[in-house]
Structure 1
């Protein structure tokens, strides 16, 4: 019994894995044995109860539909070598690069840029952790995605993927950091405020005064504009419930300001508000001495769709009460896995 995940379902699983082992890539022949039966769906549901409906699965050829339980995608062309990974006994997932190409076929540019930032981030979703996240090495990066697109030009979806690649965020430590950079740095035609030039989680060496205050030789801002010595920090509510974390953040800000850096804090409520983020963007533009002039006619519509994105990842993970026992063929009973909260 084998199943190959596809697109958004594969993304949901990849975002929970501690790592991927590319040495466990399987040959195209493994896909031939993937049969999306009701029994196989129940098996996947038991292993990954957080997956939302419907499951998106890759089939080697046209298969009989399984109703609302699954959406099947046929593999009409051979998969690139090394692009199908074994992630569990009998369960396969596309490589992060192939997953993005699959997502590109049915996503907007803004959604694809968000998904790319998630897979290039240094975090995984883990509901057991207090923050809903744990650290991990990025599953891929922009250079690896670009190389995949260059080596396999015939794959459907690569045109959109190449178009979005320059705007994807690398090394973000949380989903809100991905969206924060998108909101501030995407060009106006994509709905962002065009405050380009930000580095994500880039270490800044400290002078003697800053080292004495911080107790370390360097600090890592969330978003850093080196040209104007500006740091924008995301203030995650669930993390900052602890006085210890609040102390660390206050110390970080004190040390950076002592070194001559300007520090702007963005809360989750601000991040979800177009109006408040516009104020942040104006301040960033003022610090960079670049007046914010929006001339793109596409900006209003693109801006609304950008701030409608699910940067909290709610649509990638299902709540426990959404699985009703015996609701459809291929579904188990109620899931016990909690869904990540909006605040990280």
Structure 2
């Protein structure tokens, strides 16, 4: 395209993750434009970054550079080692593989980013499976962590151990089905195999880290440390019947994690549920769901640290579905604890 700048910057890896989180916090969505194949090739060919030629002010305004930590390098993507530049504050990553259309997104004129799918494949190269699952749930959820967040960094408010902090509401950056489709076209790049494995077990619509941890544990297969509840819908809307509306005073309920085969909804109750107004709302909502034949099982942060309590809940879900809970995965308890702690660590929760 004639409008392609002579020199471009394509942020990648950790810089791209920071950029995605900044955009979702600012705009409550990811507003960047995906490139077509021809334009994408031109942009990639023009990326031979030099720190001295980069408009650092523009990168700062777009949230791609941390002014408070200028020693943190800007990570960029290039397609050939001849395009790399060895400069302080700049880290180049070579990707010579052909990228499918939509792998590069335009942030601003001359400034681009790798797509969420490509970023997840890159992330999977240096992170373990629970951390990759956590990021996939974040990208496909309606929440985004702080741009400065790194796995293992505790994000509790020290004055209130029960309150989640460090995340913002946002539209999804991508949907799970599309994430999986794009990762299939990125075979061999980063660790796309691990990222695709995580994407295939990712559900759309988690509203908080707590919901993502809960959904991951119950949804992932036994071999990964989960409880293999395959049929699960996050933030599923249940329209109420006339009787349910009369009992609850509500036209519908939105279930955190609805398991249709068990006629049960799992609800993650954060600290705000302890408020009197929230308790009244929860009681009315539970009564309405009961009138619809749906059982409500509430889990709090304490239970999300107790693998025995979580497995007992899984057994109940299987029983209500008329099935038998049979976890024959080798060393399944070890895998369950590793998954639980890995997810907690990824979202900044203390390990149990």
**The TM-score by the shorter chain falls in which range?**
0.7 to 0.9
Distance in 1 (alpha carbons) for counterparts of 2:215 and 2:136: 13
2:49 corresponds to 1:15: no
CA pair 212-142 structure 1, distance change in 2 beyond 3 A:
same
CA pair 155-242 structure 1, distance change in 2 beyond 3 A:
same
Q: Give the total of aligned pairs.
A: 312
TM-score (norm 2): 0.74
Matching of residues 117-132 of structure 1 within 5 Å: 117-125=137-145
Secondary structure, aligned partner of 1:195: coil
2:10 corresponds to 1:4: yes
Match for residue 51 of structure 2? 37
Unaligned 5+ runs, structure 2: 1-6, 148-163
CA deviation after TM superposition for structure 1 residue 159, in Å: 2.6
Distance in 1 (alpha carbons) for counterparts of 2:284 and 2:345: 28
CA deviation after TM superposition for structure 1 residue 23, in Å: 2.8
Distance in 1 (alpha carbons) for counterparts of 2:279 and 2:52: 49
CA deviation after TM superposition for structure 1 residue 229, in Å: 1.0
Q: Deviations over 1:100-120 (max 9, x none)?
A: 222232333332222211111
Match for residue 248 of structure 1? 281
Between 219-228 and 143-152, report the one with greater CA deviation.
143-152
CA deviation after TM superposition for structure 1 residue 190, in Å: 0.3
2:196 corresponds to 1:178: no
Unaligned 5+ runs, structure 1: 316-340
CA deviation after TM superposition for structure 1 residue 192, in Å: 0.9
Match for residue 156 of structure 2? none
2:300 corresponds to 1:267: yes
Whether the aligned pair in 2 keeps the contact of 1:5 and 1:57 (CA below 8 Å) is yes
Match for residue 219 of structure 1? 253
Whether the aligned pair in 2 keeps the contact of 1:5 and 1:94 (CA below 8 Å) is yes
Whether the aligned pair in 2 keeps the contact of 1:58 and 1:72 (CA below 8 Å) is yes
CA deviation after TM superposition for structure 1 residue 176, in Å: 1.7
Between 194-203 and 243-252, report the one with greater CA deviation.
243-252
CA deviation after TM superposition for structure 1 residue 37, in Å: 3.0
Secondary structure, aligned partner of 2:327: coil
CA deviation after TM superposition for structure 1 residue 167, in Å: 0.8
2:290 corresponds to 1:257: yes
Match for residue 57 of structure 1? 75
Distance in 2 (alpha carbons) for counterparts of 1:45 and 1:182: 34
Structure with the greater relative contact order (CA < 8 A, sep ≥ 6): 1 or 2? 1
CA deviation after TM superposition for structure 1 residue 311, in Å: 4.0
Distance in 1 (alpha carbons) for counterparts of 2:268 and 2:21: 21
Distance in 2 (alpha carbons) for counterparts of 1:148 and 1:304: 31
Aligned CA RMSD, in angstroms, stands at: 3.4
Whether the aligned pair in 2 keeps the contact of 1:189 and 1:298 (CA below 8 Å) is no
Match for residue 115 of structure 2? 95
Whether the aligned pair in 1 keeps the contact of 2:118 and 2:183 (CA below 8 Å) is no
Matching of residues 59-208 of structure 1 within 5 Å: 59-60=77-78, 61=81, 62-64=84-86, 66=88, 72-87=92-107, 91-125=111-145, 133-153=167-187, 155-208=189-242
CA deviation after TM superposition for structure 1 residue 306, in Å: 0.7
Distance in 2 (alpha carbons) for counterparts of 1:144 and 1:107: 22
Match for residue 210 of structure 1? 244
Whether the aligned pair in 2 keeps the contact of 1:117 and 1:178 (CA below 8 Å) is yes
CA pair 51-182 structure 1, distance change in 2 beyond 3 A:
farther
Distance in 2 (alpha carbons) for counterparts of 1:297 and 1:55: 42
Distance in 2 (alpha carbons) for counterparts of 1:258 and 1:171: 25
Match for residue 299 of structure 1? 332
CA deviation after TM superposition for structure 1 residue 234, in Å: 0.3
Whether the aligned pair in 1 keeps the contact of 2:130 and 2:346 (CA below 8 Å) is no
CA deviation after TM superposition for structure 1 residue 226, in Å: 1.1
Whether the aligned pair in 2 keeps the contact of 1:223 and 1:231 (CA below 8 Å) is yes
Whether the aligned pair in 2 keeps the contact of 1:189 and 1:302 (CA below 8 Å) is yes
CA deviation after TM superposition for structure 1 residue 51, in Å: 9.7
